[in-house]
Chain A
Amino acid sequence: MQPTDISNPDYFHKVVDCQWACPAHTPVPEYIRLIAAGRYDDAYMINWKSNVFPGVLGRTCDRPCEPACRRGRVEEEPVAICRLKRVAADYKSDAILERVRLGRAPSNGKRIACVGAGPASLTVARDLAPSGYEVVVYDSAPKGGGFIRSQIPAFRLPERVIDEEISFITELGIETRYNTYVPSLNGLLDEGYDAVFVGSGAPRGRDLDVPGRQEAAANIHIGIDWLSSVSFGHIKTIGRRVIVLGGGNTAMDCCRSARRLGGEEVKVVVRSGFEEMKASPWEKEDAMNEDIPILNFMVPKTVVHEHGKLAGMTFEKVKAVYDEKGRRNLVPTGEPDEFIACDDVLVAIGQENSFPWIERDIGIEFDRWGLAKVDETTFQSTNPKVFFGGDSAFGPKNIIWAVAHGHQAAISIDKFCQGQDVQARLPPDTTLVSQKMGIHEWSYDNDIRIDLRYKVPHLEKSKALSSIKDEVELGFDVELAFKEAQRCLNCDVQTVFEPKLCIECDACVDICPVDSITFTENGEEADLRTRLTAPALDLTQDIYVADGLKTGRIMAKDEDVCLHCGMCAERCPTGAWDMQRFLFDMAQVTPIATVAKEGVAA
């Protein structure tokens, strides 16, 4: 193998699995250390800079970071990264108001319109406004937030959290035009905007197409529309018996909301198997804890109605059969259809993009799925003035993706308005600094122990089910937050090897608790992976290779399950191993000062 080029920012970034997996690349271990140190404001600012909605995401994020977490590979469960983020938001002080007031450069005369006031648009607005852009945000709803506000029930995300974090953005001098539906993109462009960002989401819920649907329409509701009506207080009750169709997070929000609005027998029915459901495991768990059964392998067949009123639904029972190519087919089992009586049905079987307001003759090309053609790096459409992001770019995803899109689109809009090449992207800001304080002393806590994940306290069930607004999760208290934060392995504190100093004494090999280090003859990667102290079978994890040793061998370190405990560096007599903190900061339009780079590690 070729020696590893550790000067490539991607190499160490990839070792920080959580940050690498995060679409916005939030420096997770850095803010977790700050939480452990009780520096909630600093932890909040790191998040705010990177993901804009720490309080919202700390309750609702899809958490791509957690399945990636290294703690999950060496122990049972990952660090509760998402809920620690919430801790930063819950315990920040009022001083945060000063820090999010970024100030504003004098107007640069450029006007930007954002369509939709969801997370993508608001991210664009926050990134652009401080540099002097005049940003106008349109939304048909009476308040900002988009799906954050309309789709996520208040018992999961209280309104005050949304209001606060949206106000942080709107107070940067952004003009909001709520209750304003944009009927024509062409019309908007005619208003003289220098660029338009489309962040209008995927607002159309997929409908059910089975016999009887129309006849019983009065009691069959599209999930996202229903949630929105609940959110804005238009709907306050539902029937006693409710069927929720669909296996995604929207279905979970629907069934749990229904339980709080009078639904006593609420059932979720999914076509697929329980395991293949799209909903996050923890959301399924929360639903089941509220006495909501999830019935799987049942395909909706008919809506049964009597005297023009919904009576129930019949379902065909199926099983999954895989063909030789591994594709799944749902095949009837031959069992009799099952009838489930109900008073209301909530349909949460997917959502779609919908752009009736975008003219097809203004230079924006659409693909056959009705999505605009959008550059995956720049988020620019085929009309150079128009940018897309969030769910409206590549279909329904989640908040953290919308934020990531927003940052990149903002960079593109900035470059476009300044007449620069949109394709030329800004490099990340990285630093790599030794954490050595003395013999056996590091500036981070390297005492790694077996330590199982702590549970977030919940509101008592009977109380939770009696209110649509009372938040179910109470969040970690300070003590639990500290304990959970201590589970973080500090994967951003990198093991950096200097071959010139190595005397090949094997001390690091002997001490490494997870057998990550090997000194051996070089070879092709496939062969080398089998010859290491512990075979390196996870091909997604890199091997750190260094040559230049006296014996002509190489040092090969499997990054996979390294605990970042620093034992190798502690036992190294020559300092060939060092623990160095790697900070990776994504480029943004406006460099926002958060915390001084020095001395953040606690």
Chain B
Amino acid sequence: MTYLPKPKLAHPELQKNDLGFTRRDYEGSISTLCAGCGHDSISAAIIRACYELSLPPHRIAKLSGIGCSSKTPTYFLGNSHGFNSVHGRMPSVLTGANLANRELIYLGVSGDGDSASIGFGQFSHSIRRGVNMTYIVENNGVYGLTKGQFSATADRGAKNKRGVENMDEAIDMVGIAIQLGATYVARSFSGDKNQLVPLIKGALQHQGAAFIDTISPCVMFNNHDGSTKSYDYVREHNEAVNFMDVVTGRNEITVDYEPGTTEIVRQHNGGLLKLRKLANDYDVTDRVAAMNFLETRKARGEIVTGLLYVDPDADDLHGFLETSDKPFNSMSDEELIPGSAALEKLNASLR
């Protein structure tokens, strides 16, 4: 099989963003995933989000582990930094990179195998440390690269392609992320970019650990009747709690919205999230209520999507550790290696 590159020719009216880039400038190589893979739609959503936020591609670092999902950073942001790490180890590489250079925008891309099985511990700890990142899990509920065995996020009772039922309880990545202290938590669906793109934009602007669980149907092994992660099933059971818009500086909100229907959340860095409520009683900043709501709705068989929890005043690992404002690469040798006297002084302070 040969994969032709996507033609460079673009629509003659293609718009440019504030940096003078078109959306096409945020693309990567042609995808070699199966045709129709939900992951490709998520790649397209990431491209749109970065383009719309006018992020400089060279200020973004995309990191991933192993799996179908972890292949995708090749397919977007071709001019950004990338690190394809060991299976399940993306979170620690990301954490290290983030500590060394806090000025980059960190985008972790992982899958349900990479984050809910082999890398479950890494996922948990990067979240509870509050690493400033956007952590996207492309969740299809199966191991696509090894022909479709159930993954740890497959729902109990879901059937595989051969009709065999899954007997294990599913790990709910969103529930875990909220519990472990993620300060921006969302769930979305690869088949609904209108919802997904703003959620990614909000996460990229969030100061702290942002986590997005994106249900992404595996067309090859998990898109049949009996699957709970197929295009049809997700569309049928999707219950969005809100619809979000990210408002950037240029078009700040000036209109007053009818109370109770629209909620404005101002994030720490000044970015505004405009939330149109779909579930009336849902308070997006109430962590405990969010957990209750998720459990209640899950019991009813609903897939709750939207922005589920946000702490607008969140801080991140650098804030907790009171690290230097400067990235290592801009420090002089003297700053990086202060010498034995400084070490002595430090040791003395701890005695």
Contacts and interface: CB of A to CB of B under 8 A. Distances in A.
Given A440-B1, A570-B35, A510 B40 contact: yes
Interface residues of B, number: 33
B36 A503 contact: yes
Given A439-B1, A507-B35, A515 B14 contact: yes
A75 B9 contact: yes
Contacts of B193: 506
A541 to B, nearest CB: 12
A504 B43 CA distance: 16
Interface string A504-531: 1111011101111000000000000000
A514 B40 contact: no
21 contacts: A439-B1, A449-B9, A450-B7, A450-B8, A505-B37, A505-B190, A505-B217, A506-B41, A513-B6, A513-B8, A513-B9, A515-B14, A534-B13, A561-B11, A565-B4, A565-B7, A567-B6, A570-B35, A571-B31, A573-B36, A573-B219
A572 B37 CA distance: 9
Given A503-B231, A507-B36, A572-B36, A449 B8 contact: yes
A455 to B, nearest CB: 21
Contact of A561 (B3, B12, B36, B191): B12
Nearest to A567: B6
A561 B7 CA distance: 13
A214 B32 CA distance: 78
A503 B218 CA distance: 12
Interface-central residue, A510, A516, A534, by most chain B CB under 10 Å: A510
A507 B41 contact: yes
A383 interface: no
Contacts of A73: 12
A550 interface: yes
A481 B13 CA distance: 31
B20 to A, nearest CB: 19
Nearest to B6: A513
A28 to B, nearest CB: 19
Interface string B1-35: 11110111111111000000000100000010011
A74 B7 CA distance: 11
A577 to B, nearest CB: 10
A68 B350 CA distance: 80
Which A-B residue pairs are the 4 nearest by beta carbons? A573-B36, A510-B44, A448-B7, A505-B36
B229 to A, nearest CB: 13
B266 interface: no
A446 interface: yes
A571 B40 contact: yes
B38 interface: yes
A506 B4 contact: no
Contacts of A561: 11-12
Contacts of A440: 1-4
B315 to A, nearest CB: 36
A498 to B, nearest CB: 15
Interface in B188-217: 190-191, 193, 217
Given A446-B4, A510-B44, A565-B4, 6 more contacts: A448-B7, A505-B217, A505-B231, A515-B14, A534-B13, A571-B31
A505 B219 contact: yes
A563 interface: yes
Interface-central residue, B10, B24, B44, B219, by most chain A CB under 10 Å: B10
Interface-central residue, B9, B34, B43, by most chain A CB under 10 Å: B9
B36 A551 contact: no
B36 A510 contact: no
Contacts of B7: 448-450, 513, 563, 565, 567
B85 interface: no
B3 A563 contact: no
Contacts of A447: 4
A209 B235 CA distance: 78
B209 to A, nearest CB: 28
A503 B223 contact: yes
Interface-central residue, A505, A509, A534, A572, by most chain B CB under 10 Å: A505
Contacts of B225: none
A593 interface: no
A168 B177 CA distance: 81
B103 interface: no
B313 interface: no
Contacts of B223: 503
B232 interface: yes
A507 B10 contact: no
Nearest to B220: A573
B37 to A, nearest CB: 7
A535 interface: yes
A574 interface: yes
Contacts of B40: 507, 510-511, 571
B36 A450 contact: no
Contacts of A511: 6, 40
Nearest to A507: B36
Contacts of B191: 504-506
A403 B124 CA distance: 76
Contacts of B219: 503, 505, 573
A537 interface: yes
Nearest to A510: B44
Contacts of B217: 505
Interface in B268-311: none
A447 B41 CA distance: 23
Contact of B9 (A439, A507, A514): A514
A514 B217 CA distance: 25
Interface-central residue, A75, A513, A516, A570, by most chain B CB under 10 Å: A513
A73 B191 CA distance: 31
A514 B44 contact: no
B44 A506 contact: yes
Contacts of B14: 515, 534
Nearest to B192: A506
B41 A573 contact: no
Interface string A153-185: 000000000000000000000000000000000
A193 B131 CA distance: 94
B12 to A, nearest CB: 6
Contacts of B2: 440
B10 A514 contact: yes
B9 A74 contact: yes
A513 B11 CA distance: 7
Interface string A56-77: 0000000000000000011100
Contacts of B35: 507, 570-573
Nearest to A519: B191
A506 B217 CA distance: 12
A550 B31 CA distance: 26
Interface string A426-470: 000000000000011000001111100000000000000000000
Interface in B25-67: 31, 34-38, 40-41, 43-44
Interface string A394-426: 000000000000000000000000000000000
B158 to A, nearest CB: 18
Contacts of B11: 514-516, 534, 561
A513 B9 CA distance: 7
Contacts of B1: 439-440
Contacts of A570: 4, 35
A532 to B, nearest CB: 10
A500 to B, nearest CB: 14
A505 B9 contact: no
Interface string B222-241: 01000000011001000000
Interface in A555-591: 561, 563, 565, 567, 570-574
A266 to B, nearest CB: 39
A292 B257 CA distance: 69
A573 B222 CA distance: 13
